[in-house]
Amino acid sequence: SERLFMEMADVMAAEGWRDAGYQYVCIDDCWMAPARDQHGRLQADPKRFPSGIHKLADYVHSKGLKLGIYSDVGIRTCAGFPGSYNHYDLDAQTFASWGVDLLKFDGCNSGTLELLAEGYRHMSLALNKTGRSIVYSCEWPFYLRPLQQPNYTEIKQYCNHWRNFFDVYDSWRSIKSILDWTALHQDSIVKIAGPGGWNDPDMATLPGIFVFLSQLVIGNFGLSWDQSVTQMAMWAIMAAPLFMSNDLRHISPEAKWLLQNKEVLAINQDPLGKQGYQITKDKNFELWERPLSGQAYAVAVLNNQEIGGPQNFTFSLTFLGNGLACNPACSIRQVLPAGRDWGVYNWVSSLSVEVNPTGTALLKV
């Protein structure tokens, strides 16, 4: 309902979320009335959004935030509401006239792959024609992948970020499956990411609250503390757009600290815009790096072991940055699970990192 989104905007403005960089309050599927109006335009459900989307956008904007909305490339949304097929220009104009700042464009009920692609291209051009700056969030490659390899160069030409993988759930198994898929496909997806176009690892569905792309499920109930640290660290490494799927009115102080951690957010939002990748996998450990501006690197050491206690992973610093990250020397700071300086190392040093089961140590080198 509009009340829920207004309350969430209030919390985002009052409790530091906006100031940390979270800008968008996004509505997902099911916001619409079951049918278009007499002029063919989409309309909001009159019971849950009685003031209309324009008024909600005005309210969100008054808090220094932006409003996101949902539609679908096909004839129906995934939940069966009116889709944008044959209405791309009209819907783009409608969203712009309401003051919408982001469109998540789903891919259900789209017919053939050619219709799917044509729909995503058409809506991109239609949004640009409105003259309003609207972030375009696509699900194009996710719906292509079962049948053909996505052309990420073309997708980036039309979309600002795009979904690659299945729904994320509030569970470790789900987080782990996303990381495994990303590592397996990194050769095809890492190189395309950069300013203006980003890989979304996943999609979240949490009925009643928010449903977003690239979902952080931190602050709910399914992840342990170490697993929450892993999601935050690895989404920063992957240069993923960060959307929270949680109820900010009832979030723990620990989850708030993690989600608002300035050092992690700075890594995620690094202006160089390069996506990180897995360097090596050794038994239960994974070593990832992400090139940052200023000749720095973010490094993540992930412990996949699910039982037992903390374990040490030792690696040579020559692994990092093709041997250049610490040549001739580098300073190392641990960012997660807690911030502390580790000092200066030379390029032939080895580093031993202690990591909890299903946890991650995030370093800045």
Asked about 106 being catalytic, the answer comes back as: yes
Is there a cis peptide before residue 328, judged by omega within 30 degrees of 0?
Answer: yes
| Contact in structure between 278 and 288 (CB atoms under 8 Å) | yes
Residue 43 CB contacts under 8 Å (≥ 6 apart), including other chains = 32, 33, 36, 37
Asked about 167 being catalytic, the answer comes back as: yes
Q: Is 120 helix (H, G, I), strand (E, B) or coil?
A: helix
CA distances to 86, 189, 350, 359 from 92, in Å: 12, 28, 54, 43
Angle at 283 between CA 223 and CA 190, to 5 degrees: 70
Euclidean distance between CA atoms 205 and 156, whole angstroms = 25
Q: Which two tokens stand for residue 326?
A: 């610490």
Euclidean distance between CA atoms 290 and 277, whole angstroms = 7
Q: Over the range 92-117, which residues count as b (16 or more CB within 10 Å of their CB) and which as e?
A: bbbbbebbbbbbbbbbbebeeeeebb
CA distances to 33, 50, 180, 232 from 175, in Å: 34, 37, 9, 11
Q: Helices in the chain by DSSP H: which ranges?
A: 2-14, 17-20, 52-62, 88-98, 113-129, 140-144, 152-158, 172-184, 186-189, 225-237, 253-259, 262-268
**Catalytic member of 10, 58, 89, 167:** 167
Terminal Cα-to-Cα distance of the chain (whole angstroms): 45
Q: What is the DSSP letter of 302?
A: E
Tokens 């099911």 correspond to: 30
**Catalytic member of 106, 200, 202, 270:** 106
Catalytic residues: 106, 167
